Structure 1
Amino acid sequence: MISSNIVRAIMTVTALVAACTAEAADMATAQGAAPAAAAGAEPSPWQIRLRALDVITNDSGRVDGLPGSDLSFSNTVIPEFDISYFFSDNIAAELILATTYAKVYGGGSISALDEVGKTWLLPPTLTLQYHFTDFGTFRPYVGAGVNYTLFYNQSGKSARSLDVKNTFGVALQAGFDYMVDDHWGLNFDAKKIFLRPDFDANVGGAGVSGKAKLDPWLIGAGVTYRF
């Protein structure tokens, strides 16, 4: 479920978009052809964004050799920074930078373990995007790319130790920018990362292994700046 922080951010973006739409219409009426002349300026290929990001994990996984075992993971809200480079008006590459943590809980036949442990994640993600340019200041986009997640600062709780393995994942993305002027805009973005790392743990002196099916949704809202 999307957190209340992100819901509030989305509501804020929606309200600002409505206000900016009305303001843009008034400016166009007052200035006549001036906006068209400004639109002819060549924009910089570089763009950055800062978002509030809700990381919503898929609660699924297994411990090998333990039938009915399951796993669940905590969700977090974090800041996220990304850098985009536009090869053309329509094609861009985006590098997504953020870090977060996940608490790992036992479920099903291992629910008595409760919190198994905790790990931090550094998941740099590179996507190639297509931006639609036929809607004026409203600029939707879709993208796909690759993720490589590094797990660090790991610790066990009911487990004596926890070691989640670094792994690659596939990322899908959709979102939009609403540009307030030539540089500033508002952004909403949703990403799905297919992330299923292997792990080792020591539980009660016995070594176990398995797979965590994190597959997180990353839902974010924030601001865009085009240089």
Structure 2
Amino acid sequence: MLKTSFIVALATISTASFAGQWQVKIGGSLLQPSAKHNTLAEGLVTDAKADNGASFTPSIEYFFEDPRFSAELLLATPFKHEVKASINGQPSAQIAEFKHLPPTLTFKYHFINSTPITPYFGAGVTAAIPFQERARGDLEGAKLRANMTYGLAGQVGVMVNPIKDNKNWGVFADVRYAKVEPDLKIDGVKIGTLNIDPWVYTAGISYRF
């Protein structure tokens, strides 16, 4: 269901590309996983956690006829993460690494007012596309795979237009939360689900056409 909704929403934005107002945002993001105590392989692997990652994150935003409403598609260069865990009760050590892309689509409401500061919030869907998964440490040599996954996403932020009489340029900062929980396989055998559920902190500049 989420996969279908994500594709339909992307198609809706593409269809709207011939009219309306567009905004391009250029920023950087820190992705901080919130899930810290994953248990995998029937208890053999405990306290598995992905570390923080940072990336360049541009986005494209379309404003509907009512400018209080918009749709934003977050793009990114790949995030890279290491995964640490305890195996058989041994001290935590790196067991894996992977990269992923997190395209995220949110539909937003903007609190337009007479000041240069416009708060906003949004909700939508995200996808986590993992690649270059590699087992490390005690799992070195095993074939690690993580599946592509979909989840819900929320967003809260603020846009500031600091240049008087010029509403095209702006600066922004926002926070997103997403449900990201890929299944993991070692040598083709599922060992569990790695709950990442990240907070994503983003700041940057924008230009509105």
TM range, normalised to the smaller chain?
A: 0.7 to 0.9
What residue number does 1:149 align with? 128
Instruction: Tell me, yes or no, if structure 1 residue 47 matches structure 2 residue 26.
Output: no
> Normalization by structure 1: what TM-score?
0.74
1:208 CA drift (Å): 5.5
What residue number does 1:226 align with? 208
Assess, with a 3 A threshold, how the Cα gap between structure 1 residues 184 and 114 changes in structure 2: closer, same or farther: same
Equivalent of 2:94 in 109, 115, 119: 115
Mapping of residues 24-173 of structure 1, within 5 Å: 45-58=21-34, 59-66=36-43, 69-87=46-64, 88-98=66-76, 99-107=78-86, 109=88, 111-112=90-91, 114-158=93-137, 159=139, 160-173=142-155
Secondary structure of residue in 2 paired with 1:120? strand
Counterparts of 1:222 and 1:65, CA distance in 2: 43
CA RMSD of aligned residues (A): 2.0
Does the Cα contact within 8 Å between 1:196 and 1:215 map onto a contact in 2?
Answer: yes
Larger helix proportion of the pair: 1
Say how many residue pairs are matched.
181
Equivalent of 2:178 in 193, 204, 227: 193
Identity of aligned residues (%): 27
1:68 CA drift (Å): 7.3
> Normalization by structure 2: what TM-score?
0.80
Does the Cα contact within 8 Å between 1:70 and 1:109 map onto a contact in 2?
Answer: no
Question: What amino acid is the match of 1:195?
Answer: V
Secondary structure of residue in 2 paired with 1:70? strand
Q: Return 5+ residue gaps in structure 1 as ranges.
A: 1-43
1:213 CA drift (Å): 0.9
Which has the higher Rg, Structure 1 or Structure 2? 1
Counterparts of 2:130 and 2:28, CA distance in 1: 21
Q: Return 5+ residue gaps in structure 2 as ranges.
A: 1-19
Counterparts of 2:100 and 2:89, CA distance in 1: 24
Secondary structure of residue in 1 paired with 2:112? coil
Question: What amino acid is the match of 1:168?
Answer: Y
Question: What amino acid is the match of 2:202?
Answer: G
